[in-house]
Amino acid sequence: MKQLFIMTISLFIMTSCQKNPEITPVTSDKNCSVKSISAGIADFSPNSSYYKVTFTGDKITQLTNSLTSQDKKTFIYNLSGFLLKSEVFYNYDNLGDTLVRSRIEYFYDTDSNIIKANSYYQEYSAGQSLGLKFSGIDSFFYTNGKVSQRKTYVPYGPNSYQGKVLINWNNDDIVSFIIYGQNGLINNTLNFTYDTLKENKIDINIKKINYNYADASNSMEAMRNSKHVLIKAVEQSRGNSINTYNYLTTFDNNNFIKSIQVNAYGNTYYINRFDYNCN
């Protein structure tokens, strides 16, 4: 299920059976929180847009485009600190920046795991908004405390079931996605390799506002939710075509992830860049 704000992008090889070597803990004498996110931008010139991060307390409550404040995504939590709802706003069609263009609502089990996400998108007719329309459900299932399956449903068509993704783990790293279509056949697989000597230091708040775990087009879900730094994803389709994606992650002086690049189809481009406030 696609989201209008894509931190990827969107957008995820089995590791060796031998015991991983001990990693050196990533430490910093500074307390840092993410202040801006650049997503899907080939270069980071001063005129490139990025998303400014707004915190309320220790939670991210808004991402705002640096070039237009009308382009934003908001996050709403309950009193216990669980994300209840995310909403997307923009005004490219001059219908107003207070009109919710899409919404995702989140539901949890008694162990605080997301078990369902309902999606809604604004419906239009003749340039007028008709209100939010329910567009689908992602249901999540867990094994030993880790998400192991995602099923997707839509409220239209002869078959509301759209398919599923099986999510396989090796300790605290996602090592593969197996993506099935609604006919029960495997559409494609994604296998991941990690640098087990480097710890994934994406800000924990970024993980909290990204729930998907298994976007079939997005290796970044493996990086966001795994313990170690992703270095390679290999995708194989049902037709046996194979694509390889190599990732390069850089770190700042405080050992937080500064940028992520991917090499694919002969080109190298940025996926994300992060800037932080540290004290």
> Under a CB-based contact definition with an 8 Å cutoff, are residues 245 and 264 in contact?
yes
Minimum mean pLDDT range among 15-19, 62-66, 81-85, 106-110: 15-19
Contact 92, 101 (CB under 8 A): no
Asked if residue 203 belongs to a domain, the reply is yes
Mean residue pLDDT of the chain comes to: 80
pLDDT at 78 over 80: yes
Residue 192 lies inside a defined structural domain of this protein = yes
Q: Is the dihedral of CA 41, 42, 44, 47 positive or negative?
A: negative
Q: How far is the C-alpha of 268 from the C-alpha of 6, rounded, in Å?
A: 19
Residues 25-53: tens digit of each pLDDT:
333 446 778 888 877 554 545 456 788 88
Output the domain CATH number for residue 268: 2.40.128.720
Is 64 domain-assigned?
A: yes
Q: Is residue 146 part of a domain?
A: yes
Residue that wins the pLDDT comparison between 45 and 66? 66
70, pLDDT greater than 80: yes
Is residue 1 situated within a structural domain?
Answer: no
Predicted local distance difference test score (pLDDT) of residue 8: 31
Total count of domains within the chain:
1
- The domain containing residue 149 runs over which residues? 32-278
CA distance 4 to 121: 10
pTM here is 0.80
Composition of the chain by helix, strand, coil, percent to 5: 5, 55, 40
For residues 13 and 178, the answer to whether their CB atoms sit within 8 Å is no
Considering the domain boundaries, does residue 144 fall inside one?
Answer: yes
DSSP state of 20: P
pLDDT at site 25: 37
Has residue 27 been placed in a domain? Answer: no
Residue 24's CB: how many other CB atoms inside 10 A? 9
Look at residue 142 and tell me if it is in a domain. yes
Radius of gyration from C-alpha coordinates of the chain: 19
pLDDT band per the 50, 70, 90 thresholds, residue 133: very high
